[in-house]
Amino acid sequence: MECIQTLRGHPRSVWCLNFHPSSNELLASGCLGGQVRVWDLQGRSEVWNSEKGTTITSLSFHPYERLLAIATGNEVLLWDWSQKQPIKTVATSSSEEYIRLIRFDHHGHHLLTGITNPTRGSQERLLYGRRSFPGQFPNEMEDDVPTEPDTFPEPSLADPHQTIEYQPMNKQKTRTEIPRQKLQVVRDM
């Protein structure tokens, strides 16, 4: 395998990569220093820097929209990379939880996450959007929680008061396919 291109620009080591599902020419990379870059593999990139400088642990392109999901610490950020800042930020219910993996499903309706919790052990969980109303607690809605992924409500990014709930799911882990080309993404020295 030969190196086809070297992409430079991250201030620290690259921690995660994700190719766009419909284009091998579009790649997102995240580094230990909290920086995300979206590359078009012609050498150009769009950059977003985490204000907290926390490690970018996982990235996932929406399959159809100009949207990138970013996992950092206990937050998920949704970023339209034509904008300077993410359009939505959602945190887990505890700062002790860390999001290690994030993926849109192939339809772009659901956002799957892998969350670790050092005080309670690790679990796989499914993150999905759902409207909550003042005074309504998760235990009041238990009978209303869907059990099959196809029945989950579609998330809405338009509602700024929307909250996110987490429901443990027993799902098999899947591997992301990487194109059979070698591509280097390195930090600046």
The letter for the amino acid at 163 is T
Whether residue 23 has pLDDT greater than 60 = yes
pTM above 0.75?
Answer: no
pLDDT digits (tens, 9 = 90+) for 129-168: 433 333 333 333 333 333 344 443 443 333 333 333 333 3
Distance CA 11, CA 8 (A): 9
What's the pLDDT score for residue 40? 86
The letter for the amino acid at 94 is S
> Is the distance from CB of 36 to CB of 59 less than 8 angstroms?
yes
pLDDT digits (tens, 9 = 90+) for 88-127: 999 988 888 899 999 999 899 999 999 887 665 544 444 4
Domains of the chain, each with CATH number or no CATH: 3-187 (2.130.10.10)
Whether residue 46 has pLDDT greater than 90 = no
Whether residue 36 has pLDDT greater than 60 = yes
Residue 17 burial class via C-beta count within 10 angstroms: exposed 0-12, middle 13-18, buried 19 and up: middle
What's the pLDDT score for residue 16? 95
